[in-house]
Structure 1
């Protein structure tokens, strides 16, 4: 069993108002802590993935702010205090400064982080 806090979790991605911290916690799953500044739209950095959308599922809890999640089926808004499940095929946009933590399959999460990092490079 592995436990980690925000401060103990290594930075996986940082820049342009975004901070992503990720730690594998076992069972093929990772915990991800994320902060994103108001106006951050992940859609451009997801271009090139299937459907130009994140293909990693996420289970988590939004601790601060509001975000819009766009999918092929439409969009939904999430607010601080809500638990969520985001199925593969989504692109988030921060409507306010947001913070959340989620649990995701490590392999899929690593693929998305590598793609976003390559897009930024």
Structure 2
């Protein structure tokens, strides 16, 4: 096949895109994500080093929740998916499915491997990154320069 890559497997070492998030409010270390695209899906290896409630990142989306489906595996610790009618917890060794209209709540130290439809994931990521930047801008102290006072000679 000319011009395309046939990838039938993906591993963390194959990840071509890496993203580091943080430090944000109350974060002392950085979260890390590594991503591989596989035939219309994104394989994500994510490490979260602080407790995260992603609710604010989805405000403005339908139901104020993530609208992308995800299939995954919790490598370590705990992932909670908040659905409109319930919370579902996934612990180390659990496989999980997050249909659209969920909000992830992640416990510090959690490692997750996820598959998501790339087009849906990109739309949600653009929205959540915009929301995160807006939050950081709103909460960052601004430095004000004092104008020099004019001296009246006289």
Deviation string, structure 1 residues 26-72 (Cα, Å, up to 9, x no partner): 1x211111111242111111111111111110111110111211110
Query: Which structure: larger Rg?
Result: 2
Q: Do 1:12 and 1:113's aligned partners in 2 also have CA atoms closer than 8 Å?
A: no
Paired residue for 2:117, among 97, 101, 105? 105
Q: Which has the higher strand share?
A: 1
Gaps of 5+ in 1: none
Name the counterpart of 1:75: 87
Distance 1:108 1:21 in 2: 18
Q: TM-score, normalised by structure 1?
A: 0.88
Distance 1:49 1:22 in 2: 23
- SS of aligned partner of 1:30: strand
Name the counterpart of 1:22: 35
**Measured at CA, do residues 19 and 97 of structure 1 come closer, stay the same or move farther in structure 2, by a change above 3 Å?**
same
Gaps of 5+ in 2: 1-5, 25-29, 134-154
- SS of aligned partner of 2:108: coil
Q: Do 2:31 and 2:50's aligned partners in 1 also have CA atoms closer than 8 Å?
A: no
Q: TM-score, normalised by structure 2?
A: 0.71
Q: CA RMSD in A?
A: 1.6
Give 4+ residue runs of structure 1 displaced > 3 Å after superposition. none
- Alignment size in residue pairs: 120
Higher RCO (CA 8 Å, separation ≥ 6 residues)? 1
**Measured at CA, do residues 40 and 116 of structure 1 come closer, stay the same or move farther in structure 2, by a change above 3 Å?**
same
Q: Do 1:55 and 1:108's aligned partners in 2 also have CA atoms closer than 8 Å?
A: yes
- Please report how far the alpha carbon of residue 18 of structure 1 lies from its aligned counterpart in structure 2 after TM superposition: 2.8
